[in-house]
């Protein structure tokens, strides 16, 4: 089919999206204390100077908060154009500032002063003092990230959309993995909030057509996909999936790059690529045949056979299955024990196990992404996405 025709059909998808405006997620709220107003300009300037003297790096999330509050206090509401999708750092800064909405300058100034004062007291106290356990990291809109017992937990958090991965979530996951690779955790865990682990790629990702048209959209999508999967290939610490419910599409394929996959007996594993006019990604065209043998990989990746947790275990994709009633308790007890193992030994072991395949995995990822770039422009794919968006079809 001619590209012009496809553009028109994708444009109609876009209209459908406008109609279904409930697909949008609420704006990020940064939870900064709002104590009594009244920090003077002098207090504010002094706080700005104190930030430079902090003994301990406060971490990226806090730096983003400080940036946003500073901009709000000095310039008012966010007034610059949103950076491009792939300008990750400036986009994170812009998002943090923009999330402050119409917060008055005076409140932002006070919140900045309060935040710096809190940082100073924690920075000044002895390094023996343990950071507050299970502290939620701010700055993420689609994820909830917590750190406790040397475990960084990344929870996909769009339960109303079955944790479908929109472009923002792909980007936030990349940022979260980058941060987790450098923090003091020993292992990193992915899980989902609500009844699903994840329903895979958010099909509304296909709808926002940029000025460059569908080809540009597909090209950007392929770059995003490639960068996203690269982060999993390169992740240096043990990576664990706690699959709390059904998993679909890309949330299943990347499991081949995880080091442990624990599943509730409620979980299912489904890669309906042919149904969607698409092809495998996440390196699954290589990892799945290797893990489960060619015959079973073909059933999943070409014919879209949905596996139960027990079947996924039998085929080696899942490490262990737990009854849903005791899933959380059993899994977290296990993970807390593992997280006490020596960090460097685990990291180096992972390197030895995974490094000789890395180059190959990067090449496979590049190839799968470029094939999908073409697929997304196909009639088969456009029809499948339109069917879903017009509520005619589900998996
Ligand atoms: C060219 C552009 C490229 C863009 C960027 C690309 C980036 C990389 C792409 C990598 C390739 C990945 C491929 C895949 O992951 S393929 C798998 C895609 N997933 C699906 O096809 C699942 C679709 N969803 C369903 O079939 C059903 O929703 C599901 C069976 C999962 C659950 O059904 P149930 O009846 O229990 O619940 P609802 O359908 O009512 O869902 C509740 C709400 O959630 C919305 N939802 C669910 N899943 C998705 C999804 N994947 N994308 C978008 N929205 C989703 C659903 O619409 C409901 O919303 P409303 O309450 O608003 O109606």
Helical segments of 22-129, H only: 41-52, 60-75, 88-98, 105-124
Ligand 1 centroid, distance to 142 Cα (angstroms) = 15
Residue 350 CA to residue 236 CA, distance in Å, equals 7
Ligand 1 centroid, distance to 5 Cα (angstroms) = 24
How large is the ipTM?
0.98
Q: Is the pLDDT of residue 138 over 80?
A: yes
**Ligand 1, CB cutoff 6 Å, lining residues:** 22-23, 161-162, 164, 199-206, 217-218, 221, 224-225, 248-250, 276, 278, 281, 376, 388, 394-395
Measuring from atom 22 of ligand 1, which residue has the nearest CA? 199
Ligand 1 centroid, distance to 85 Cα (angstroms) = 21
Ligand 1 centroid, distance to 40 Cα (angstroms) = 49
Mean pLDDT of 119-125: 65
Q: Is the pLDDT of residue 239 over 70?
A: yes
Measuring from atom 30 of ligand 1, which residue has the nearest CA? 395
pLDDT at 367: 98
Measuring from atom 1 of ligand 1, which residue has the nearest CA? 218
Ligand 1 centroid, distance to 385 Cα (angstroms) = 10
Q: Is the pLDDT of residue 219 over 70?
A: yes
Domains of the chain and any CATH numbers: 42-122 (1.20.80.10), 143-393 (3.90.226.10)
Residue 261 CA to residue 218 CA, distance in Å, equals 31
Confidence of residue 34 (pLDDT cuts 50, 70, 90): very low
Q: Is the pLDDT of residue 373 over 90?
A: yes
Q: Is the pLDDT of residue 361 over 70?
A: yes
Q: What is the pLDDT of residues 161-171, one digit of tens each?
A: 999 999 999 99
Percent share of the chain, pLDDT over 70: 85
Q: What is the pLDDT of residues 242-301, one digit of tens each?
A: 999 999 999 999 999 999 999 999 999 999 999 999 999 999 999 999 999 999 999 999
pLDDT at 27: 27
Residue 115 CA to residue 47 CA, distance in Å, equals 9
Q: Are 186 and 236 in contact (CB under 8 A)?
A: no
Kindly report the number of other CB atoms within 10 A of residue 194's CB atom. 16
């Amino acid at each position: 089919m001619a590209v012009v025709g496809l553009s028109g059909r994708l444009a109609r998808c876009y209209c459908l999206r406008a109609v279904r405006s409930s697909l949008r997620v609420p704006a990020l709220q940064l939870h900064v204390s709002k104590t009594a107003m009244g920090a003077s300009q002098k207090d504010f300037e002094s706080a700005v100077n104190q930030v430079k003297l902090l003994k301990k790096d406060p971490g990226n999330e806090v730096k983003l908060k400080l940036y946003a509050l500073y901009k709000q206090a000095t310039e008012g509401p966010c007034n610059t154009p949103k950076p491009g999708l792939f300008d990750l750092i400036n986009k994170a800064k812009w998002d943090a500032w923009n999330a402050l909405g119409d917060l008055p300058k005076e409140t932002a100034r006070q919140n900045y002063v309060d935040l710096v004062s809190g940082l100073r007291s924690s920075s000044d106290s002895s390094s023996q003092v343990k950071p507050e356990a299970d502290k939620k990291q701010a700055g993420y809109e689609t994820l909830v990230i917590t750190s406790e017992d040397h475990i960084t937990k990344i929870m996909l958090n769009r339960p109303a959309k079955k944790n479908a991965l929109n472009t923002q979530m792909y980007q936030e996951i990349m940022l979260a993995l980058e941060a987790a690779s450098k923090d003091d955790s020993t292992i990193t865990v992915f899980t989902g909030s609500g009844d699903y682990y994840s329903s895979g790629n958010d099909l509304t990702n296909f709808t926002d057509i940029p000025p460059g048209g569908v080809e540009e959209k597909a090209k950007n999508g392929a770059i995003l996909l490639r960068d996203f999967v690269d982060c999993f290939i390169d992740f240096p610490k043990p990576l664990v999936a706690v699959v709390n419910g059904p998993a679909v599409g890309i949330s299943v394929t990347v499991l081949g790059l995880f080091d442990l996959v624990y599943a509730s007996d409620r979980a299912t594993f489904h890669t309906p690529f042919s149904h969607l006019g698409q092809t495998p990604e996440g390196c699954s065209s290589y990892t799945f045949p290797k893990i489960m043998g060619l015959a079973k990989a073909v059933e999943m990746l070409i014919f879209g056979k949905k596996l139960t947790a027990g079947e996924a275990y039998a085929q080696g994709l899942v490490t262990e299955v737990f009854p849903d009633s005791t899933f959380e308790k059993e899994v977290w007890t296990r993970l807390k024990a593992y997280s006490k193992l020596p960090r460097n030994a685990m990291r180096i072991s992972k390197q030895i196990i995974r490094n000789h395949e890395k180059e190959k995995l990067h090449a496979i990822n590049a190839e799968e992404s470029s094939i999908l770039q073409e697929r997304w422009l196909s009639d088969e794919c456009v029809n499948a996405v339109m069917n879903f968006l017009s509520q005619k079809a589900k998996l």
